[in-house]
Amino acid sequence: MQSSYIPFVLAHKLYPLCNVKVSIFYGDSYEMHQVVYSHEGEWCDIPIISIHDGTSLPIPNWIEAEWLSVVECENYALECEIDEAKAQLIWNEAKENGWSIKYLQIGLVPYGGVAIWLCGSKKTVLLHWLKAEKREIGIVDDKPFPTSAFGPVCDEILKQKPEALHYLNSYGLPQQDMFDNWMRQYSFRYDIVFCQLNGNEWIPKVFDEDSDEMEPEIEFVADYCYDGTYDKTHSDHLFLYHESGMPKRLGLCWQEGNNTMKAFFWFEYGFMNKVFKDFFGSHPGINADFQMLIDSGVKRYDVRLSSCESTCEPIIIPYEAYQVVVFCDGFEFFRSENYAQEDGAWNW
Protein backbone atom coordinates (compact mmCIF):
# COMPACT_ATOMS: atom_id res chain seq x y z
CA MET A 1 0.00 0.00 0.00
CA GLN A 2 1.33 3.46 -0.93
CA SER A 3 1.77 5.81 2.00
CA SER A 4 2.87 9.40 2.17
CA TYR A 5 5.27 10.18 5.00
CA ILE A 6 8.62 11.80 5.70
CA PRO A 7 11.30 9.51 7.20
CA PHE A 8 13.72 11.10 9.66
CA VAL A 9 16.56 10.10 11.94
CA LEU A 10 16.61 11.68 15.40
CA ALA A 11 19.28 11.87 18.11
CA HIS A 12 18.52 12.87 21.67
CA LYS A 13 20.03 16.30 22.29
CA LEU A 14 22.13 14.99 25.21
CA TYR A 15 23.53 12.08 23.16
CA PRO A 16 24.73 13.35 19.73
CA LEU A 17 25.76 11.11 16.84
CA CYS A 18 28.05 11.16 13.84
CA ASN A 19 28.75 8.93 10.81
CA VAL A 20 25.02 8.19 10.61
CA LYS A 21 23.87 5.94 7.77
CA VAL A 22 20.26 4.76 7.82
CA SER A 23 18.28 3.14 5.01
CA ILE A 24 14.77 1.71 4.87
CA PHE A 25 13.71 -0.93 2.37
CA TYR A 26 10.27 -1.76 1.04
CA GLY A 27 8.47 -3.95 -1.46
CA ASP A 28 9.19 -7.44 -2.70
CA SER A 29 12.35 -6.22 -4.41
CA TYR A 30 13.53 -4.34 -1.32
CA GLU A 31 13.91 -0.95 -2.94
CA MET A 32 16.03 1.35 -0.78
CA HIS A 33 15.42 4.85 0.53
CA GLN A 34 18.24 6.56 2.42
CA VAL A 35 16.98 8.42 5.49
CA VAL A 36 18.36 11.81 6.46
CA TYR A 37 19.85 12.37 9.93
CA SER A 38 17.83 15.48 10.45
CA HIS A 39 17.78 16.79 13.99
CA GLU A 40 18.46 16.53 17.70
CA GLY A 41 15.91 17.19 20.42
CA GLU A 42 13.81 15.54 23.09
CA TRP A 43 12.98 11.89 22.58
CA CYS A 44 10.64 11.66 19.55
CA ASP A 45 10.51 15.41 18.92
CA ILE A 46 9.30 15.89 15.39
CA PRO A 47 11.12 18.54 13.34
CA ILE A 48 9.78 22.08 13.57
CA ILE A 49 10.29 22.60 9.85
CA SER A 50 10.06 19.81 7.30
CA ILE A 51 9.80 19.76 3.53
CA HIS A 52 7.93 16.98 1.77
CA ASP A 53 8.92 16.48 -1.84
CA GLY A 54 5.67 14.65 -2.55
CA THR A 55 7.29 11.22 -2.74
CA SER A 56 4.94 8.41 -1.74
CA LEU A 57 6.74 5.53 -0.04
CA PRO A 58 5.26 2.16 0.84
CA ILE A 59 5.44 1.11 4.47
CA PRO A 60 8.99 -0.26 4.93
CA ASN A 61 9.77 -3.87 5.80
CA TRP A 62 13.51 -3.67 6.52
CA ILE A 63 15.96 -1.24 8.12
CA GLU A 64 19.73 -0.96 8.07
CA ALA A 65 21.51 1.53 10.30
CA GLU A 66 25.02 2.37 11.42
CA TRP A 67 26.16 5.26 13.60
CA LEU A 68 28.78 6.45 16.05
CA SER A 69 27.50 7.29 19.53
CA VAL A 70 29.62 10.31 20.42
CA VAL A 71 29.29 10.23 24.22
CA GLU A 72 30.48 6.60 24.29
CA CYS A 73 32.73 6.69 21.24
CA GLU A 74 31.13 3.41 20.18
CA ASN A 75 29.95 2.38 16.73
CA TYR A 76 26.67 0.45 16.28
CA ALA A 77 25.06 -1.37 13.39
CA LEU A 78 21.61 -2.87 12.87
CA GLU A 79 19.95 -4.94 10.17
CA CYS A 80 16.41 -5.86 11.08
CA GLU A 81 12.97 -6.62 9.69
CA ILE A 82 10.17 -4.11 10.31
CA ASP A 83 6.70 -5.43 11.15
CA GLU A 84 4.92 -4.23 8.03
CA ALA A 85 1.55 -5.66 9.09
CA LYS A 86 1.67 -3.90 12.47
CA ALA A 87 2.65 -0.63 10.79
CA GLN A 88 -0.24 -0.97 8.35
CA LEU A 89 -2.66 -1.59 11.22
CA ILE A 90 -1.44 1.58 13.01
CA TRP A 91 -1.73 3.50 9.75
CA ASN A 92 -5.32 2.36 9.22
CA GLU A 93 -6.36 3.07 12.82
CA ALA A 94 -4.88 6.57 12.60
CA LYS A 95 -6.89 7.31 9.50
CA GLU A 96 -10.09 5.89 11.01
CA ASN A 97 -9.66 7.96 14.18
CA GLY A 98 -9.05 11.28 12.50
CA TRP A 99 -5.30 11.79 12.92
CA SER A 100 -2.82 11.37 10.12
CA ILE A 101 0.69 9.93 10.15
CA LYS A 102 3.16 12.40 8.67
CA TYR A 103 6.52 10.98 9.77
CA LEU A 104 8.35 7.73 10.22
CA GLN A 105 10.85 8.68 12.89
CA ILE A 106 13.92 6.61 13.75
CA GLY A 107 15.53 7.48 17.08
CA LEU A 108 19.09 6.41 17.96
CA VAL A 109 20.54 6.47 21.49
CA PRO A 110 23.60 5.10 23.35
CA TYR A 111 24.02 1.36 23.94
CA GLY A 112 22.55 0.62 20.51
CA GLY A 113 18.93 1.59 21.16
CA VAL A 114 16.77 2.09 18.06
CA ALA A 115 13.19 3.35 18.32
CA ILE A 116 10.83 3.50 15.35
CA TRP A 117 7.70 5.62 15.67
CA LEU A 118 4.83 6.50 13.37
CA CYS A 119 4.16 10.17 14.09
CA GLY A 120 1.50 12.78 13.51
CA SER A 121 1.14 16.25 14.94
CA LYS A 122 -1.50 14.98 17.40
CA LYS A 123 -0.29 11.49 18.20
CA THR A 124 2.69 9.15 17.96
CA VAL A 125 2.73 5.36 18.24
CA LEU A 126 5.79 3.22 18.94
CA LEU A 127 6.30 0.61 16.24
CA HIS A 128 9.55 -1.00 17.45
CA TRP A 129 12.22 -0.79 20.13
CA LEU A 130 15.32 -2.55 18.76
CA LYS A 131 18.93 -3.15 19.78
CA ALA A 132 21.91 -2.76 17.49
CA GLU A 133 25.29 -4.41 18.01
CA LYS A 134 28.68 -2.81 18.48
CA ARG A 135 30.84 -2.87 15.36
CA GLU A 136 34.30 -1.53 14.56
CA ILE A 137 34.47 1.10 11.84
CA GLY A 138 35.74 -0.37 8.59
CA ILE A 139 38.89 -2.30 7.70
CA VAL A 140 42.37 -0.84 7.30
CA ASP A 141 45.26 -3.04 6.10
CA ASP A 142 43.00 -6.09 6.49
CA LYS A 143 42.43 -5.31 10.17
CA PRO A 144 39.39 -3.79 11.92
CA PHE A 145 39.86 -0.07 12.44
CA PRO A 146 39.14 0.48 16.15
CA THR A 147 36.30 2.83 17.04
CA SER A 148 38.41 4.15 19.93
CA ALA A 149 40.61 5.88 17.34
CA PHE A 150 37.70 8.29 16.83
CA GLY A 151 38.11 9.63 20.38
CA PRO A 152 39.48 13.03 19.24
CA VAL A 153 36.64 13.32 16.71
CA CYS A 154 34.06 12.64 19.44
CA ASP A 155 35.73 15.15 21.75
CA GLU A 156 35.61 17.81 19.06
CA ILE A 157 31.93 17.14 18.32
CA LEU A 158 31.08 17.43 22.01
CA LYS A 159 32.80 20.81 22.17
CA GLN A 160 30.23 21.96 19.61
CA LYS A 161 27.38 20.58 21.78
CA PRO A 162 27.76 22.47 25.10
CA GLU A 163 24.54 21.11 26.64
CA ALA A 164 25.52 17.51 25.92
CA LEU A 165 29.11 18.08 27.10
CA HIS A 166 27.98 19.74 30.35
CA TYR A 167 25.56 16.89 31.05
CA LEU A 168 28.22 14.25 30.36
CA ASN A 169 30.77 15.99 32.60
CA SER A 170 28.19 16.44 35.38
CA TYR A 171 26.48 13.06 35.35
CA GLY A 172 28.56 10.73 33.21
CA LEU A 173 27.06 8.13 30.92
CA PRO A 174 23.48 7.03 31.62
CA GLN A 175 22.80 3.73 33.34
CA GLN A 176 22.81 0.77 30.97
CA ASP A 177 19.11 0.07 31.50
CA MET A 178 17.84 3.66 31.36
CA PHE A 179 16.67 3.61 27.76
CA ASP A 180 15.06 0.17 28.19
CA ASN A 181 13.16 1.63 31.15
CA TRP A 182 12.10 4.59 29.03
CA MET A 183 10.77 2.30 26.34
CA ARG A 184 9.03 -0.26 28.56
CA GLN A 185 5.27 -0.09 28.05
CA TYR A 186 2.59 -0.75 30.66
CA SER A 187 -1.16 -1.26 30.51
CA PHE A 188 -2.98 1.60 32.22
CA ARG A 189 -5.59 4.30 31.79
CA TYR A 190 -6.02 7.81 33.19
CA ASP A 191 -8.69 8.17 35.84
CA ILE A 192 -9.56 11.71 36.94
CA VAL A 193 -11.27 11.62 40.34
CA PHE A 194 -12.86 14.71 41.88
CA CYS A 195 -12.76 14.05 45.61
CA GLN A 196 -12.81 15.84 48.92
CA LEU A 197 -9.84 15.84 51.24
CA ASN A 198 -10.79 15.01 54.83
CA GLY A 199 -7.61 15.45 56.83
CA ASN A 200 -5.18 13.27 54.88
CA GLU A 201 -7.87 10.95 53.57
CA TRP A 202 -9.51 11.23 50.18
CA ILE A 203 -13.28 10.68 50.35
CA PRO A 204 -15.92 10.81 47.60
CA LYS A 205 -17.38 14.24 47.05
CA VAL A 206 -21.16 14.28 47.40
CA PHE A 207 -23.18 16.75 45.36
CA ASP A 208 -26.52 17.87 46.75
CA GLU A 209 -29.23 17.76 44.10
CA ASP A 210 -30.86 20.80 45.69
CA SER A 211 -27.65 22.79 45.51
CA ASP A 212 -26.47 24.94 42.59
CA GLU A 213 -23.06 23.25 42.78
CA MET A 214 -22.35 21.21 39.66
CA GLU A 215 -20.19 18.14 39.47
CA PRO A 216 -16.88 18.91 37.68
CA GLU A 217 -16.71 17.62 34.12
CA ILE A 218 -13.45 16.50 32.54
CA GLU A 219 -12.91 17.76 29.01
CA PHE A 220 -9.65 16.12 27.94
CA VAL A 221 -6.32 14.62 28.92
CA ALA A 222 -3.13 14.85 26.84
CA ASP A 223 0.14 13.10 27.56
CA TYR A 224 3.76 12.78 26.49
CA CYS A 225 5.45 9.60 27.71
CA TYR A 226 9.01 8.43 28.32
CA ASP A 227 8.80 5.99 25.40
CA GLY A 228 8.45 8.96 23.04
CA THR A 229 4.74 8.45 22.42
CA TYR A 230 2.24 11.22 22.91
CA ASP A 231 -1.50 11.69 22.51
CA LYS A 232 -2.95 15.16 22.02
CA THR A 233 -6.06 14.05 20.13
CA HIS A 234 -8.36 14.90 23.09
CA SER A 235 -10.22 11.66 22.39
CA ASP A 236 -11.43 9.12 24.95
CA HIS A 237 -8.54 6.77 24.13
CA LEU A 238 -6.50 7.77 27.18
CA PHE A 239 -9.42 6.96 29.49
CA LEU A 240 -9.33 3.35 28.23
CA TYR A 241 -6.68 0.76 29.06
CA HIS A 242 -3.84 1.09 26.58
CA GLU A 243 -0.16 0.20 26.28
CA SER A 244 2.15 3.14 26.87
CA GLY A 245 5.39 4.23 28.46
CA MET A 246 5.49 5.98 31.82
CA PRO A 247 3.96 9.48 31.68
CA LYS A 248 6.54 12.24 31.41
CA ARG A 249 4.21 15.20 30.92
CA LEU A 250 0.48 15.37 31.42
CA GLY A 251 -2.11 18.04 30.73
CA LEU A 252 -5.78 17.96 31.68
CA CYS A 253 -8.70 20.33 31.35
CA TRP A 254 -12.01 20.31 33.21
CA GLN A 255 -15.00 22.50 33.93
CA GLU A 256 -15.59 23.25 37.58
CA GLY A 257 -18.63 25.42 38.21
CA ASN A 258 -18.34 28.34 35.80
CA ASN A 259 -14.56 28.01 35.60
CA THR A 260 -12.28 26.33 33.11
CA MET A 261 -9.44 24.60 34.95
CA LYS A 262 -6.22 23.35 33.37
CA ALA A 263 -3.47 21.43 35.16
CA PHE A 264 -0.04 20.47 33.83
CA PHE A 265 2.27 17.86 35.40
CA TRP A 266 5.94 17.00 34.82
CA PHE A 267 7.12 13.63 36.17
CA GLU A 268 10.70 12.78 37.16
CA TYR A 269 12.17 9.62 35.67
CA GLY A 270 13.83 8.07 38.75
CA PHE A 271 10.72 8.20 40.93
CA MET A 272 8.36 7.10 38.15
CA ASN A 273 10.56 4.18 37.15
CA LYS A 274 10.62 2.88 40.73
CA VAL A 275 6.86 3.30 41.24
CA PHE A 276 5.94 1.62 37.97
CA LYS A 277 8.40 -1.26 38.46
CA ASP A 278 7.22 -1.83 42.03
CA PHE A 279 3.53 -1.73 41.11
CA PHE A 280 3.59 -3.81 37.93
CA GLY A 281 6.33 -6.09 39.27
CA SER A 282 4.10 -6.98 42.23
CA HIS A 283 1.07 -7.45 39.97
CA PRO A 284 2.25 -8.83 36.60
CA GLY A 285 -0.28 -8.60 33.81
CA ILE A 286 -2.48 -6.14 35.69
CA ASN A 287 -4.37 -3.18 34.20
CA ALA A 288 -3.65 -0.07 36.26
CA ASP A 289 -5.44 3.20 36.86
CA PHE A 290 -3.21 6.26 36.80
CA GLN A 291 -5.37 8.37 39.10
CA MET A 292 -5.38 12.13 39.50
CA LEU A 293 -7.11 13.00 42.77
CA ILE A 294 -8.37 16.59 42.65
CA ASP A 295 -9.75 18.89 45.33
CA SER A 296 -9.46 22.42 43.96
CA GLY A 297 -11.09 23.83 47.09
CA VAL A 298 -7.94 23.09 49.11
CA LYS A 299 -5.60 23.12 46.07
CA ARG A 300 -4.54 19.47 46.33
CA TYR A 301 -3.61 17.49 43.24
CA ASP A 302 -2.41 14.01 44.18
CA VAL A 303 -1.35 11.17 41.90
CA ARG A 304 -1.38 7.42 42.50
CA LEU A 305 -1.33 4.06 40.74
CA SER A 306 -4.19 1.76 41.63
CA SER A 307 -6.30 -1.05 40.23
CA CYS A 308 -9.79 -2.47 40.53
CA GLU A 309 -8.19 -5.71 41.72
CA SER A 310 -9.21 -6.19 45.37
CA THR A 311 -5.77 -7.48 46.37
CA CYS A 312 -3.97 -4.48 44.87
CA GLU A 313 -2.99 -1.66 47.22
CA PRO A 314 -2.62 1.78 45.62
CA ILE A 315 0.86 3.30 45.42
CA ILE A 316 1.02 7.04 46.08
CA ILE A 317 3.39 8.87 43.76
CA PRO A 318 5.37 11.18 46.08
CA TYR A 319 5.25 14.95 45.64
CA GLU A 320 8.98 14.94 44.88
CA ALA A 321 8.21 12.92 41.76
CA TYR A 322 6.34 15.66 39.94
CA GLN A 323 5.85 19.37 39.42
CA VAL A 324 2.42 20.84 38.77
CA VAL A 325 0.90 24.16 37.80
CA VAL A 326 -2.86 24.83 37.63
CA PHE A 327 -4.69 27.61 35.83
CA CYS A 328 -8.22 28.89 36.40
CA ASP A 329 -9.72 30.73 33.41
CA GLY A 330 -6.21 31.40 32.12
CA PHE A 331 -4.78 32.78 35.38
CA GLU A 332 -2.35 30.87 37.56
CA PHE A 333 -4.26 29.24 40.41
CA PHE A 334 -1.65 26.96 41.99
CA ARG A 335 1.91 25.79 41.58
CA SER A 336 3.75 23.15 43.58
CA GLU A 337 6.58 24.22 45.88
CA ASN A 338 9.12 22.43 43.69
CA TYR A 339 7.85 23.98 40.45
CA ALA A 340 10.84 25.00 38.32
CA GLN A 341 9.62 24.96 34.73
CA GLU A 342 10.29 27.83 32.37
CA ASP A 343 7.44 30.20 31.58
CA GLY A 344 5.25 28.69 28.87
CA ALA A 345 6.54 25.13 29.41
CA TRP A 346 2.91 23.98 29.46
CA ASN A 347 2.53 24.88 25.78
CA TRP A 348 3.35 21.54 24.18
Supply the pLDDT for residue 283: 85
Supply the pLDDT for residue 215: 84
Indicate the SS3 state at residue 31: strand
| Calpha distance 49→320 (Å, rounded) | 36
Q: Tell me the DSSP string of 32-53.
A: EEEEEEEEEESTTPPPSS----
Supply the pLDDT for residue 52: 55
How many whole angstroms from its chain centre is CA 85? 23
What does pTM read for this prediction? 0.92
Supply the pLDDT for residue 243: 96
Q: How, if at all, do strands 57-58 and 17-26 pair?
A: unpaired
Q: Average pLDDT for consecutive 10-residue bins of the chain (348 residues)?
A: 78 95 92 88 76 71 96 95 94 90 94 96 96 84 76 93 96 96 97 87 74 83 97 95 97 94 98 95 91 93 87 89 97 96 92
Supply the pLDDT for residue 233: 95
Supply the pLDDT for residue 208: 67
Supply the pLDDT for residue 124: 96
Supply the pLDDT for residue 53: 57
Q: Do 95 and 43 touch, CB atoms closer than 8 A?
A: no
Instruction: Give the closest residue to 311 by CA, choosing from 291, 290, 282, 273.
Output: 282
Instruction: Give the closest residue to 303 by CA, choosing from 294, 312, 201.
Output: 294
- How far apart, in Å, are the Cα atoms of 204 and each of 170, 261, 327, 329? 46, 20, 23, 25
